[in-house]
A and B are shown apart, each in its own frame.
Chain A
């Protein structure tokens, strides 16, 4: 266990030193703050809690941004260290390969969690000070937004490691990471939407839709955040009603989406020769 923590600590130190932590935190905070104050202006008083509006806009934003940040910090993790020659030295130490991957995962996840918590937290705190009345239910939804965003980050960090362990060059890893991001964030939903429109509910049943939504981690994430009290004011409310997925199932899907690629990355990396 301590070996994993040593590697995680080094990863965090590097993240602080090369300003990754600062950059992602600032990016998330800036976007969250601008969405909070610019985005809430047109809603006026429509009965929806101000924080609910922020949750809906922030989760739509996170679906794009969090996977991108996660892939950016993770796609280089294995292949980059191999190319720079630091992996060779690291593995000559009493360190198992799974510990290398696990340590990096803990470190990268800590960086993501910190950025998300601080970045989004600033916006919520600012809203509480200026907007006043926010219900307990909205706070719970906001906490779930932060938690699920970190989980979504974990999914794409794990996918990034798998790519990184499979390829031979950093450039290839970067290209594949961009492709994966496009597919999960844009292409998959457009294709799914197209399918639903063409199909008109003839063959795609609710059960099938459930499966199709669980097959994309970003959809599971959307349903977690847009299905609850905030869902009524988002466009996802309709889909959330048809797709009858309990939050526990969605959460389990996200955990599986993180665990399986992570295990695969460890497996591939363990068998790889340097």
Chain B
């Protein structure tokens, strides 16, 4: 896999604020990577660094083999970007807007109509952007990012303002582009939307990279417990104590319901013991950790780490 974007040891400070600290990762061709973090975690700063709009205080950024801040502007011909809260001149029409951006990429006007159709704006092509809804502007933003078949797409919170149907369409575009070998980086503040859509997730918090891997790998690292809930049959109340006696973790929820938080490796053993010896069970729920819980886990551990670093830094002075 060829790396299209490479960050190594990148830091960026704005005066006293450390927006990004010592972040390294690389993105390859044909990969959809999600950059996840709270608002203000450094996602937008990282994307601006990759675009060369700001220069790193330390470290190096390489996009398609060039330094985006000083290298040839031609690199940006192969790059698509959708800013957070994209805005356009309200006085121009959708077609005029896309024609302008196509001309800047020297991509020709030919594809403008096709792109507008692809994002579902063909009917509004000759209306002024002023009359567009938030979702339509977002789709126009996507259309401009797709001009000239980019090899690298940087999308800053691309699905905000999209209804569920356009959101589905959007992810199917991404799959097409990935199949064609594009690198796609999308930032988001919610992990839950990315299940089955991102090949890899990079979690950032307070400017530091806290996790990098597939969702399954992250689940493995986090070792979050699975919740098992058992409801006994109406006549099986007495058995509650038998279950509880087998593992100290069981706690009663009400008269005939019990639950336990099981570590990944204990899960199967606990399930077995709960159903063994003819205990009459009416219902059984196994809830794996949700993505939101997973995300909260990484954000929390990162918080502790950073505080630790800050203290070290204070002590070092």
Contacts and interface: CB of A to CB of B under 8 A. Distances in A.
Interface of A: 2-3, 6-7, 10, 13-14, 17-18, 84-86, 88-96, 273-274
Contact of A93 (B55, B83, B91, B101): B101
B101 A85 contact: no
A88 B83 CA distance: 8
Contacts of A14: 89, 91-92
A93 B87 CA distance: 15
A92 B100 contact: no
A86 B87 contact: yes
In the A-B complex, the 8 residue pairs with the closest CB atoms: A92-B81, A17-B91, A94-B76, A94-B73, A93-B104, A85-B87, A6-B103, A273-B54
Contacts of B189: none
Residue among A3, A6, A13, A88 with max Cβ neighbours from chain B (10 Å): A88
A94 B89 contact: no
Contact of A95 (B73, B86, B91): B73
B91 A88 contact: no
Contact of B104 (A13, A17, A94): A94
Given A93-B76, A96-B73, A86 B144 contact: no
11 contacts: A3-B104, A14-B91, A14-B92, A84-B87, A88-B53, A89-B86, A92-B53, A93-B76, A94-B75, A94-B77, A94-B105
A94 B53 contact: no
A17 B81 contact: no
Contacts, number: 65
Contacts of A86: 87-89
A91 B52 CA distance: 9
A235 to B, nearest CB: 43
A93 B105 contact: yes
Contacts of A89: 81, 83, 86-87, 144
Contacts of A85: 83, 85-87
Contacts of A273: 53-55
Interface in B62-102: 73-77, 79, 81, 83, 85-89, 91-92, 96, 100-101
Nearest to A16: B91
Contacts of B86: 85, 89
Contacts of B76: 92-95
A18 to B, nearest CB: 5
Contacts of A7: 104
A17 B79 CA distance: 30
B51 interface: yes
Tell me what chain A mostly uses at the interface: helix, strand, loop, or mixed. Answer: helix
A100 B74 CA distance: 16
Interface of B: 48, 51, 53-55, 73-77, 79, 81, 83, 85-89, 91-92, 96, 100-101, 103-106, 144
Contacts of A6: 100, 103-104
Contacts of B144: 89
Nearest to B103: A6
B32 to A, nearest CB: 20
Nearest to B44: A88
Contacts of A84: 87
A14 B96 CA distance: 11
A156 B141 CA distance: 34
A271 to B, nearest CB: 10
Given A88-B83, A89-B86, A93-B76, A274 B104 contact: no
Nearest to A6: B103
Nearest to A99: B73
Nearest to B89: A14
Contacts of A10: 89, 92, 100
B54 A274 contact: yes
A210 to B, nearest CB: 44
Contacts of B55: 273
Nearest to B69: A273
Contact of B91 (A2, A3, A18, A92): A18
Contacts of B79: 92
Nearest to A274: B53
Nearest to B93: A17
Which of B74, B88, B91, B96 has most A Cβ within 10 Å? Answer: B91
Contacts of A91: 51, 53
